Amino acid sequence: MTDSRSPAIWALIPAAGVGRRMGAGRPKQFLMLGAHTVLAHTLGIFLEHPAIQGVVLVLGPEVDPDAVELPMAGGRLFRVAGGAERADSVRNGLDFLAARCDAADWVLVHDAARPCLPREDLDHLIATLRHDPLGGLLAAPSTDTMKLADAAGRVEQTLDRARVWRALTPQMFRLQALRSALAAAAEAGMPITDEASAMEWHGQRPRLIEGSPMNIKITRPEDLETARLYLTMQNRLRNPI
Ligand code: C5P
């Protein structure tokens, strides 16, 4: 690959969680939303985006890949086995990419359980960050007043609402920089629930890009109904995938 080419953009979808909080018979990414699974809706957003080179899907070891509904991908979808925690699953996906891609290529990590990501938010994230040295994440400014709790469940502090954001995904970073940050955080035993926090822990300041609050993470049973509504509003509930 030549130096003159602009970095490729990859999507990495961790889908190896068991979704205990959902209390359903199967992980939340395999529940139905209209005509398709949550996961198929999520994959469709990235597979149909012209700027995305390919999609790495991280599945749990117990999942039979042939039993998963996967969109037509024309050889752009790659399956990788997941790990114990979300960060382990992401690291497995990054290792797969590292053997095939340039260190400076972009990786967009997006939760399988967020099928309502609006296309405009994805476009905006890529357009804003593709010339950024570091990268960043979609996030939603807090509309509620936020409290920090102490161990006894009492308010320790009220946070300045104007500066508090909820981290969403995709989170977009350079392949090698993200790999190093996640490896260092794991080495130090840091609990990492999103990619940005690994980068922060590594001394970086990821950029916050305002995204739609429609980009919910399906976590509890009632979230499925909300997701159905948001996909209907985007005219995507019955999309052919
Ligand atoms: O559990 P949580 O809702 O934070 O999971 C966010 C995303 O990470 C989900 O798409 C889930 O499938 C994925 N995950 C994973 N490997 C794990 C745990 C979660 O890929 N071990």
Residues 36-89: tens digit of each pLDDT: 999 999 999 999 999 999 999 999 988 877 778 887 778 899 999 999 999 999
Distances 113 to 44, 52, 94, 153, 194 between C-alpha atoms, Å = 13, 19, 19, 29, 14
The yes-or-no verdict on residue 3 having pLDDT over 60 is no
The number of beta carbons lying within 10 Å of the beta carbon of residue 177 is 19
The whole-angstrom separation of Cα 8 and Cα 103 is 10
Q: What is the pTM of this model?
A: 0.95
Closest CA to 117 of 13, 188, 2: 13
Residue 92 one-letter amino acid: N
Gap between the Cα atoms of 89 and 196, Å rounded = 15
What is the predicted pLDDT for the residue at 11? Answer: 98
Rounded average pLDDT over 142-155: 96
Residue nearest to atom 11 of ligand 1 (CA): 17
- CATH number belonging to domain 9-233: 3.90.550.10
Residue boundaries of the structural domains of the chain:
9-233
Please write the tens of the pLDDT for every residue from 156-199. 999 999 999 999 999 999 999 999 999 999 999 999 999 999 99
Residues of the chain with pLDDT > 90: what percent? 85
**Stated length of the chain:** 241
Average pLDDT, the chain: 93
Residue 4, pLDDT score: 59
Which string of DSSP letters, residue by residue, matches 39-74? Answer: HHHHHHHHHT-TT--EEEEEE-TTS-GGGS-----T
Ligand 1, pocket-test mutation among 89, 90, 94, 220, most atoms within 8 A of CB: 89
Contact 48, 60 (CB under 8 A): no
**Cα(3) to centroid(ligand 1), Å:** 35
Assess whether the C-beta atom of 191 lies below 6 angstroms from ligand 1: no
| Cβ–ligand 1 contact at 169 (below 6 Å) | no
